[in-house]
């Protein structure tokens, strides 16, 4: 039977399993179970709210279990075991399905996520999660986490912004010259089959040679190891979704609308600005959303070439066999991707109305 939690006296000693009956946190777990059971009989947003309450109760129960079993130790760590992970995943899935049945749009889903984030912040502020291993790891590595967040956001933006400009130009060229479209889109698609780690490794030597040939570039930080190969590699991967979305967006306007614009005497530039771009904006924004989420994920691998970001914490955790440290790097990446996806999806749906 899957355990509820695992408890270790410190970071080095292997943890022992904690069964649900040994959790000693039923003041939180029983209401959480009641809320989860109630969600099965509710519908729509009420069911999603019950699932959120059950998940918050589950997390509080983990924290209470840690406080009860760790005693006065400041190094003991308690983390979720398979049973808690399965329960959390089931509650998240149930909440998402309930919102879908209720017809909740991107804005409503974003508000639901913000509400759960507020509940999680309240649990943290109240100290209920102080004994959870992930929270202890985050507190101990606070400066590293903040530096990783700044580096991850900077690297993602440095790859995404030029990809939006150049990818849009390539997509527009593919739309304007249909004969060249297979070569443009096919060439960008060929880049996608190269594994990211291999591409980053292949870029090390060219960037190193360039920095040796032009010392000024080395002075501004362009080297074979570091941010340069990671940013350029991610940039190459982002060109395809942006170019493909741009090409599709420019062709999204109905032929009747384009013909009507021509009949009214619009020049090609006027038809582009007043017909094609407004009608194709939701399609283009969908490509931007895909590229943004892809950038946040791919930058994680940049840590393998010394680029920094949350990948540093993840690979440190892998090297030390420390699940807490892996999660400390992985969960913020997932959260950033979800926030970007939700925000851009809401904008996309707003433009499509």
pLDDT of 252-287, one tens digit each?
Answer: 877 787 778 778 878 777 777 778 888 888 899 999
Per-residue model confidence (pLDDT) at position 220: 66
- Decide: helix, strand or coil at residue 5: strand
Is the per-residue pLDDT at 228 higher than 80? yes
- Separation CA 322–CA 6 (nearest Å): 13
Is the per-residue pLDDT at 184 higher than 80? yes
Is the per-residue pLDDT at 222 higher than 80? no
Q: Which of 116, 136, 128 has the alpha carbon at shortest distance from 52?
A: 116
Bridge pairing between strands 5-8 and 16-18: antiparallel
- Separation CA 10–CA 74 (nearest Å): 9
Per-residue model confidence (pLDDT) at position 147: 94
Name the pLDDT band for 1 (thresholds 50, 70, 90).
very low
Model pTM? 0.86
Q: Which of 289, 262, 270, 294 has the alpha carbon at shortest distance from 350?
A: 289
The tokens for 133 are: 């291993």
Is the per-residue pLDDT at 118 higher than 60? yes
The tokens for 208 are: 């190193």
* List of residues 6+ apart from 12 with CB closer than 8 A: none
Is the per-residue pLDDT at 169 higher than 90? yes
pLDDT of 4-55, one tens digit each?
Answer: 888 888 777 778 888 888 777 888 899 999 999 988 888 888 999 999 999 9
CATH class of 142-352: mainly alpha
Percent of the chain with pLDDT over 90: 36
The average confidence (pLDDT) of the chain is: 87
Domain boundaries, the chain: 5-132, 142-352
Name the pLDDT band for 71 (thresholds 50, 70, 90).
low
Is the per-residue pLDDT at 323 higher than 60? yes
């Amino acid at each position: 039977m899957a355990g509820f939690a695992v408890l270790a006296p410190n970071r080095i000693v292997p943890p022992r399993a904690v069964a649900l009956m040994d959790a000693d946190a039923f003041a939180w777990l029983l209401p959480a179970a009641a809320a989860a059971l109630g969600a099965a009989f509710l519908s729509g947003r009420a069911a999603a709210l019950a699932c959120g309450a059950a998940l918050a109760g589950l997390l509080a129960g983990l924290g209470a279990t840690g406080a009860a079993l760790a005693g006065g130790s400041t190094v003991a760590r308690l983390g979720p075991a398979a049973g808690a992970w399965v329960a959390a995943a089931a509650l998240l899935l149930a909440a998402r399905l309930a919102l879908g049945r209720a017809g909740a749009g991107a804005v409503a889903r974003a508000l639901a996520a913000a509400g759960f984030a507020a509940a999680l912040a309240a649990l943290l502020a109240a100290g209920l999660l102080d004994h959870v291993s992930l929270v202890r790891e985050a507190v101990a590595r606070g400066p590293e986490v903040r530096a990783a967040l700044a580096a991850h956001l900077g690297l993602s933006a440095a790859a995404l912004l030029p990809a939006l400009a150049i990818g849009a130009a390539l997509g527009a060229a593919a739309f304007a010259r249909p004969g060249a479209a297979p070569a443009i889109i096919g060439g960008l698609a060929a880049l996608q089959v190269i594994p990211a780690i291999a591409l980053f490794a292949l870029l090390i030597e060219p960037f190193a040679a360039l920095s040796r040939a032009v010392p000024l570039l080395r002075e501004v930080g362009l080297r074979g190891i570091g941010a340069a190969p990671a940013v350029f590699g991610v940039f190459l991967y982002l060109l395809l979704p942006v170019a493909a979305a741009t090409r599709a967006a420019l062709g999204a306007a109905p032929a009747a609308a384009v013909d009507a614009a021509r009949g009214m005497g619009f020049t090609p530039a006027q038809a582009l600005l007043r017909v094609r771009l407004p009608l194709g904006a939701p399609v283009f924004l969908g490509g931007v959303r895909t590229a943004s989420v892809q950038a946040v994920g791919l930058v994680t691998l940049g840590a393998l070439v010394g680029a920094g970001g949350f990948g540093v914490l993840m690979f440190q955790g892998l090297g030390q066999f420390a699940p807490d440290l892996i999660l400390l790097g992985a969960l913020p990446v997932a959260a950033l991707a979800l926030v970007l996806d939700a925000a851009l999806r809401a904008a996309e749906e707003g433009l499509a109305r």
